[in-house]
């Protein structure tokens, strides 16, 4: 009889386990997702709620805290009336210029490091990459601030822009990708008399979509999210970027939570919308560099 029971148990166990394990996996994943999503949902809902009701459903907690039940655009209207739109335009402008100008500089350098042989190449590459990894931003921030000040670039676009142009991670990406392009492709163009710049532009770049997308995303998001340098170098109202605008609102209008969260939601939605569709490239690029 014992043998009979165990046999039955064994026969039953398999399908049960086959369901149980995935169910457990999904449960744990859902908990993980909730930990990510609940704070964001609450913040989004609160940004659409009148300020005096922001905490109404949080205490005692109910699901209403996660949905904008008292829907209003008041917070958004207020921050835009106070000039939040200006900071969005500023940041978008900065981010796009960084992507194109910085992208060009980094791609050219990446091409040279990936395709050319020249004296001191590896040493130079190590110095450029290592310096940026090792040196804390704060250490260089003071002398850099002084340098920018000597140029008369405090409270100017140049002062905001230039430090974000060179990006070691992006050079790394380009170098890696360009080094793997087959030599025959490049030789063929060279035999036809194309200049190196022409080779880069019409042979290499068209087949480099993944790395271009990844590099563009990295630079765009890091500029969109940049905060301390703009705070330091361009405090003037007309040059404010999104993150600085939000952080200053904490001090000035500390209690107006719905406006603070409305600004945060706008600051959050841009990178989210950008990264979602292109996440694959982003990850590929970063794992690629990590494994080098």
65 binds another protein (CB under 8 A): yes
Distance CA(263)–CA(215), nearest Å, equals: 26
Q: Which stretch binds another protein (CB under 8 A): 4-12, 52-60, 82-90, 207-215?
A: 52-60
Distance CA(281)–CA(107), nearest Å, equals: 17
Minimum gap (Å) between residue 85 Cβ and another protein: 18
Show the binding pattern over residues 96-125: x = contacts another protein (CB under 8 A), - = does not: --------xxx-xx-xxx--xxxx-x--x-
275 binds another protein (CB under 8 A): yes
Using CB under 8 A, which residues numbered 190 to 249 contact another protein?
196, 221, 224-225, 227-228, 232, 243, 246-247
Q: Is 274 exposed, middle or buried (0-12, 13-18, 19+ CB in 10 A)?
A: middle
Minimum gap (Å) between residue 150 Cβ and another protein: 11
Distance CA(117)–CA(146), nearest Å, equals: 36
> Of 68 and 271, which CB lies nearer to another protein in the complex structure?
271
DSSP secondary structure letter of residue 5: H
CA–CA distances in Å: residue 147 to residues 48, 152, 163, 223, 227: 44, 9, 11, 21, 19
Distance CA(240)–CA(89), nearest Å, equals: 10
With CB under 8 A as the contact rule, the residue among 18, 23, 38, 73 that binds another protein is 38
181 binds another protein (CB under 8 A): no
With CB under 8 A as the contact rule, the residue among 75, 171, 212, 234 that binds another protein is 171
């Amino acid at each position: 009889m014992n043998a009979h029971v165990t046999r039955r148990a064994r026969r039953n166990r398999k399908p049960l386990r086959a369901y149980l394990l995935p169910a457990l996996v999904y449960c744990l994943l859902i908990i993980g997702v909730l930990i990510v999503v609940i704070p964001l949902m609450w913040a989004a809902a609160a940004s659409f709620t009148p300020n005096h009701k922001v905490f109404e459903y949080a205490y005692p907690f109910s699901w209403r805290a996660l949905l904008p039940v008292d829907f209003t655009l008041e917070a958004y209207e207020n921050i835009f009336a106070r000039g939040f739109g200006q900071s969005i335009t500023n940041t978008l402008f900065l981010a796009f210029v960084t992507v194109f100008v910085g992208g060009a500089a980094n791609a050219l350098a990446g091409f040279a490091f990936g395709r050319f042989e020249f004296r001191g190449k590896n040493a130079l590459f190590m110095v450029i990459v290592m310096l940026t990894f090792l040196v804390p931003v704060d250490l260089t921030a003071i002398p850099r601030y002084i340098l920018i000040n000597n140029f008369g670039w405090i409270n100017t676009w140049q002062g905001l822009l230039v430090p974000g142009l060179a990006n070691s991670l992006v050079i790394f990406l380009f170098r890696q990708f360009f080094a793997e392009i087959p030599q025959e492709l490049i030789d063929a163009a060279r035999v036809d008399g194309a200049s190196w710049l022409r080779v880069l532009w019409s042979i290499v770049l068209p087949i480099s979509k993944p790395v271009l997308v990844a590099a563009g995303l990295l630079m765009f998001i890091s500029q969109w999210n940049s905060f301390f340098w703009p705070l330091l170098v361009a405090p003037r109202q007309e040059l404010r970027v999104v993150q600085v605008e939000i952080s200053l609102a904490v001090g000035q209008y500390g209690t107006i939570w719905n406006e603070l969260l409305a600004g945060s939601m706008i600051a959050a939605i841009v990178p989210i919308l950008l990264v979602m569709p292109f996440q694959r490239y982003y990850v590929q690029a970063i794992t690629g560099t990590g494994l080098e």
